[in-house]
Amino acid sequence: MRFLLMMTCLCGALFTACSSCNGSGTKPGQTAAQQRPRQQKAQIAIVSPKNNEQQPLGATITLSTQMKDGAETIDSLRWFVDGKWLKTTKGEDITWNTAGQTTGTHRVEAVSYYSSGQRENILVSILLLAPQAPKQYTYKVIQTYPHDTKAYTQGLLFDEGFLYESTGLRGESTLRKVNLQTGESVMSINLATEMFGEGLALMDDKLIQLTWQNRWHLCTKKAISNS
């Protein structure tokens, strides 16, 4: 009887302990949401550059922060660009020369450390543009020539008055010598049915025809001329 009474008291104590620490971290009469620590408000802001600011590549940009009212005393401020450390200060402004960067979006980050041991990260993005706008080119059609519209042209070159053409598609790939003026195929070599013709290059008197997944095919100009 005495043993049973002791076990009952022990189970009651364990139940009470588990109820007060039920894994949710709540106290009696409060919800989990009420017990969560409040998110610390930002104490510092990056005022330069502005988020999504655009600057030409090569520009020297001032990196500047501003402490908010009631902020803690700052111990140090570290600047990073795209995750790479730039400089550590006591909070004063610095300059960043973008000459060694690439065009596109870059991430500027300020990491502030406070005397209380707290740390804060602030991020902005900046877009670096080419220093000069790209030139606008036009074109003029001087002459047009007929061509086989059914040819799946993959490689094309011009040599000694003739076009040399590599066409694709499995079972239809060819290496052709084409009359520029008429568009007619003067000579043609059919590739193996499993080959898919790709690019074409001329080296000395050799035509090197690339294929998709089948390496390359070699032919001399003389061979195709006599085909």
Q: What is the pLDDT of residues 141-166, one digit of tens each?
A: 999 999 998 899 999 999 888 999 99
When mean pLDDT is compared over 11-20, 34-43, 199-208, the highest value belongs to 199-208
Question: pLDDT tier at 122 (50, 70, 90 boundaries)?
Answer: very high
Domain 153-225 in CATH 3.40.1390.30: no
Q: Mean pLDDT for the chain?
A: 82
For the entire predicted model, the pTM comes to 0.48
- According to CATH, the topology of domain 44-129 is Immunoglobulin-like (2.60.40)
Q: Which pairing describes strands 153-159 and 119-129: parallel, antiparallel, or unpaired?
A: unpaired
Res 119: pLDDT: 92
Pick the range with the lowest mean pLDDT from 6-15, 62-71, 112-121. Answer: 6-15
Contact call for residues 62 and 46 (beta carbons, < 8 A):
no
Strand arrangement of the beta sheet that strand 174-179 belongs to: 153-159, 162-167, 174-179, 185-190
Q: For 127-140, what is the mean pLDDT?
A: 91
Domain boundaries, given as residue ranges, for the chain:
44-129, 153-225
